A and B are shown apart, each in its own frame.
Chain A
Amino acid sequence: MSKIFERMQKRQFTRKQKSKLEVAMIYLILAVMFLIIFYPLFWAFAISMNTTSNLFTASLSPANWSLDNYVWLFTNPRSDYLQWYRNTLFVSTIVTVVTTLLVSFTAYAFSRYRFRGRTYGLYAFLLLQMFPVLMAMVALFILLNTIGLIDNLWGLILIYIGGNIPMNAFLVKGYLDTLPKSLDESAKMDGAGHFRIFFQILLPLAKPILSVVALFNFMAPFMDFILPRIVLRSPENFTLALGLYNFVNAQFSNNFSRFAAGAVLIAIPIATVYLLLQKYLISGLAAGATKG
């Protein structure tokens, strides 16, 4: 009895069939994941294409899609959307350039030089990277209020740059540590100066991690709404995240399709940048991870 049963089972599930079944299972699981990932995104996109700005009457069918909400964002005099986009790009660009530069300098010093106070510096950075700037929000709010930097994009930029340095410096330092020291030592023998070694030898090699750092810093102001909310007051100074949040905050269901339209326009460029740099991103992340 049992022998027959065994033979039957063997015939039913040969190795090949079993493997095929497994692969099918994997695809099925992935399909469910894709559904869960795409559903909210598609839903938001569909809402953004609706003519009514009311969630109750909105429909998901593409039959009567229109670009009304997008047009409203760009042409309606009551819309500050373009200004917000400009503000955010301004903040993001400056933060990215300055942070990447400062961080690579700092990481270079910590990775390649043995100087007095280095260990203390590393400890300080390690400690500071654990405290998000947000933790001091009470203090930031009162500080900025007292010195009059509230409602000023430069105040926001300063906080972003300062807050970004410790963590990113650690990430880049970890990466630089993995590059062989013989490279810069031989360059030093050939008479290359400090800056030359940095810009011509280490920087090109550190490109993967630096692009990760740059990308993080560029995306952060698009995604962050809490610091802008603490710092900025008047709508013409808002960044995108804060502005859009205020859209839905005021009358949630009535403005939602406009919010969705604005959000789609943020998500597309960010996702594109991200996907273009994906290769660097994953290798950079993994490299940073192996060294902490």
Chain B
Amino acid sequence: MPTDKKNQKNKRPVNADLDHSPKKAMLLSVIPGMGQIYNKRRLKGALIFILFAAFTVMMFDFIASGLQGLITLGTEPRVDDSRVFLIEGILAIIFTVFYGVFYTFNLQDAKKEAQKIRDGWRPGGVMENFRNSWDAGFPYVLIGPGFILLIFVVILPLLFMAFMAFTNYNLYNAPPRNILQWVGFENFVRLVTIAEWRTTFFSVLSWTLTWTFVATTLSIGLAMFLAILTNDKRLKGTRIIRTILILPWAVPGFVTIIIFSALFNDNFGAINTDIIQPLFNTTIPWMSNVMWSRIAIIMIQVWLGFPYVYALFSGVLKGISDDWYEAADMDGATRWQKFKEITFPHLMFATGPILLTQYTFNFNNFNIIYLFNEGGPAVRGQNAGGTDILISWVYGLTFNNSQFSMAAAISLILGLIVATFAFFQFRRSRSFKEEGNY
């Protein structure tokens, strides 16, 4: 490598302009556009200057007052709305970040182009320049609309939630009537120090984890079992069989959950009156007993969740070459060995990351918990129901108890759990590794 560099230096291009300094171009671009003009790209420089000037003039007041409002959150109750201050503050931060990114781009662009000029490159005509920047800018044009939407619809609410977790927003201290205050980590501290919050938090958390693990693993297991069964070549009518097995997914989930919650109803549900009562001469309190509610919910989720994984698995199984199994047969492998050494690794290799999303899905599976019996039954000594998972607890805190800051704090914890889990898993998955190579 060093010799290469030397050679390049010796072979100096014909047009090389040694006096053209990249450093100078970059320094000039402290006023955006000036460096580009120094690089003899006057139109580009002028455009950049005008854009930056317009942005600065238009946004300066907004950003300054926004950032200030974010610190104070308002001063006069009933006049200042702390929520608006929060939103404007977050927008100001977003705009500042954008400004910074574009500003850095502008500096680096001036420097890069000056380097190229020093090494003998000459900017072409207006049309050629235009085409070049269209080529370079095209991916941004593609991403732009989606990205902007993402910022306002996903990132803004998430940030808003994160900020809210550090305020004291609740039923008794709610804007516009009152001004919010920053309270630091008080909400999180209360969550683990005040007895009622602590017991609720840990019981909900442990049930959330149990629920996620049991419900998802059972659906995956059932899906795998059925996929292997229906992949059997001796079976007839596999297309119809497959279609029927996928049916639970085709029917909207909220419909089936409501149907199930009627079927499981303690008093008039068909499962009690038609199955349990005649067979065992008793009824099971599916709705009013915590343990039975949990069992019912897990069973329903398996019913709802297996078809998707089943569809995935049977797609993968169809793709496994018969050669593998023939070779295994020759070696006299048992069925279990074939499953362990061929089928299972194939399935996991092909669907691993998607299976993990099944776990994160159930971790946040609000619908089933809420629609079955709204997280109930109530449990003495805690402010969440017996089947409440973190996200349905957050819902309850927001819409029933108006404990907005607490809800935000718990959402934040929820988000951190999901992110950590998913991050470690995604890092292991193939697609992520491939990305690292670029």
Q: Is the CB of A285 within 8 A of B252?
A: no
A165 and B149 contact, Cβ closer than 8 Å, known pairs A114-B438, A138-B164: yes
CA distance A259 to B262 in the complex (A): 11
Task: Please judge, given known A-B contacts A169-B146, A245-B371, A275-B243, whether A138 and B398 are in contact too, CB under 8 Å.
Answer: yes
Contact of B252 among A119, A128, A241 (CB under 8 A): A241
Interface string of B390-427 (1 = CB under 8 A from A): 01001100110000100110010011001100110010
User: Do A138 and B435 have beta carbons less than 8 Å apart?
Assistant: no
CB-contact partner of A263 in B226, B241, B255, under 8 A: B255
Contact between A113 and B150 (Cβ–Cβ < 8 Å)? no
For chain B, residues 243 to 291, give those with C-beta under 8 angstroms from any C-beta of chain A.
Answer: 243-256, 258-260, 262-263, 265, 268, 270
A225-B351 in contact (CB<8A): no
Nearest-neighbour CB distance to chain A for B311, whole angstroms, equals 5
Which bracket fits the contact residues of B? 35 or more
User: Are A285 and B312 neighbours in the complex by a CB distance under 8 Å?
Assistant: yes
Whether B418 contacts A270 by the Cβ 8 Å rule is no
A105 touching B245, Cβ below 8 Å = no
Among residues of B, the one whose C-beta sits closest to the C-beta of A132 is: B364
- How far apart sit A219 and B230, CA to CA, in the bound complex (Å)? 27
Least distance between A244 CB and chain B CB atoms (Å): 8
Binary contact readout B229-241 vs A (1 if CB under 8 angstroms, 0 otherwise): 1101011000001
Question: What's the Cα separation between A127 and B258 when bound, in Å?
Answer: 33
> Could you tell me if B251 and A139 are in contact, using CB atoms closer than 8 angstroms?
no
- Selected interface stretch from B23-31, B118-126, B134-142: B134-142
Report A29 CB to chain B, min CB distance, Å: 6
Question: Size range of the interface on A?
Answer: 35 or more
Tell me the bound Cα distance from A116 to B241 in angstroms.
49
Q: Please give, as numbers and ranges, the residues of chain A lying within 8 Å of B229 by CB-CB distance.
A: 26, 29-30
Q: Are B150 and A166 in contact (CB under 8 A)?
A: yes
Interface: A282 (CB within 8 A): yes
Chain-B contact segment, one of A7-15, A71-79, A141-149? A141-149
Q: Given A30-B230, A141-B398 in contact, is the A40-B263 Cβ separation under 8 Å?
A: yes
A37-B244, A130-B418 given as contacts; is B354 within 8 A of A138 (CB)? no
A90 on interface, CB distance cutoff 8 Å: no
* Known interface pairs A130-B418, A285-B315, A289-B353; A121-B143 also in contact (CB < 8 Å): yes
Chain B residue with the shortest CB-CB distance to A106: B146
Number of A-B contacts (CB under 8 A): 261
Q: Please name all residues of chain A whose beta carbon is closer than 8 Å to the beta carbon of B143 when the two chains form the complex.
A: 105-106, 109-110, 121
* CB-CB nearest in chain B for A54: B268
B113 at the interface (CB under 8 A from A): no
**Given contacts A30-B229, A119-B435, A252-B262, is CB(A222)–CB(B84) below 8 Å?**
no
Question: B408: which of A44, A109, A139 is its contact (CB, 8 Å)?
Answer: A139
A292-B408 CB under 8 A given contacts A115-B140, A138-B164: no
Task: Determine the distance from Cα of A43 to Cα of B270 in the docked complex, in whole angstroms.
Answer: 9
Complex formed: what's the CA distance from A110 to B435 in Å? 11
- Complex-state Cα separation, A119 to B196, whole angstroms: 44
Q: Which of B10-18, B154-162, B187-195, B379-387 contacts A (4 or more CB under 8 A)?
A: B154-162
B370 contacts chain A at the CB level, 8 A cutoff: yes
Contacts A29-B229, A109-B139; is A122 near B255 (CB within 8 Å)?
no
B234-A19 in contact (CB<8A): yes
Neighbouring B residues of A130 by C-beta, 8 Å = 360, 418-419, 422-423
Q: Which of B142, B161, B248, B254 contacts A245 (CB 8 A)?
A: B254
A191 CB to nearest B CB, Å: 13
Contact B139 A40 (CB under 8 A): no
Picked from B235, B248, B312, B391, the residue with its CB within 8 Å of the CB of A23 is B235
Q: Determine which of A22, A159, A163, A282 lies in contact with B315 in the assembled complex, contact meaning CB atoms within 8 Å.
A: A282
> Could you tell me if B84 and A286 are in contact, using CB atoms closer than 8 angstroms?
no
Cβ contact within 8 Å between A135 and B258? no
A161 touches B312 (CB 8 A): no
> Is B354 touching A161 in the complex (CB atoms < 8 A)?
no
Contact assessment for A292 and B155 in the assembled complex, using a CB-CB cutoff below 8 Å: no
Pick the most buried of A143, A158, A223: most chain B CB atoms within 10 A of its CB. Answer: A143
Picked from A134, A270, A275, A283, the residue with its CB within 8 Å of the CB of B391 is: A134
B152 contacts A by Cβ under 8 Å = yes
The answer to whether B259 touches A260 (Cβ under 8 A) is yes
B130 adjacent to chain A (CB < 8 Å): no
Cβ distance B62 to chain A, nearest Cβ, rounded Å: 16
CB pair A128 B258 closer than 8 Å: no
Q: Is the CB of B252 within 8 A of A131?
A: no
- State which of B150, B252, B352 has its C-beta within 8 Å of the C-beta of A223: B252
For residue B317, which residue of chain A has the nearest CB? A286
Interface membership of chain B positions 187-218, coded 1 if the CB is closer than 8 angstroms to chain A and 0 otherwise: 00000000000000000000000000000000
Chain A residue contacts of B2, Cβ below 8 A:
none
A1-45 Cβ-contact flags toward B at 8 Å (1 or 0): 000000000000000000100110011011001101110110110
- Report if A36-B438 is in contact (Cβ < 8 Å); known contacts: A102-B145, A158-B153: no
List A residues at the B interface (Cβ < 8 Å): 19, 22-23, 26-27, 29-30, 33-34, 36-38, 40-41, 43-44, 55-56, 102-103, 105-106, 108-110, 113-116, 118-119, 121-122, 126-128, 130-143, 146-147, 158-159, 161-163, 165-166, 169, 174, 177, 194, 219, 222-226, 241, 244-245, 248, 252-253, 256, 259-260, 263, 266-267, 270-271, 274-275, 278, 281-283, 285-286, 288-292
25 contacts between A and B (CB under 8 A): A33-B245, A37-B303, A38-B244, A55-B268, A102-B149, A103-B146, A113-B139, A131-B158, A131-B415, A138-B164, A138-B411, A142-B160, A143-B157, A162-B154, A163-B154, A194-B135, A219-B252, A226-B367, A244-B254, A245-B254, A267-B252, A278-B246, A289-B351, A291-B431, A292-B354
Q: 5 more A-B contacts (CB under 8 A) besides A27-B235, A106-B146, A130-B418? A: A119-B435, A133-B154, A139-B160, A267-B250, A271-B250
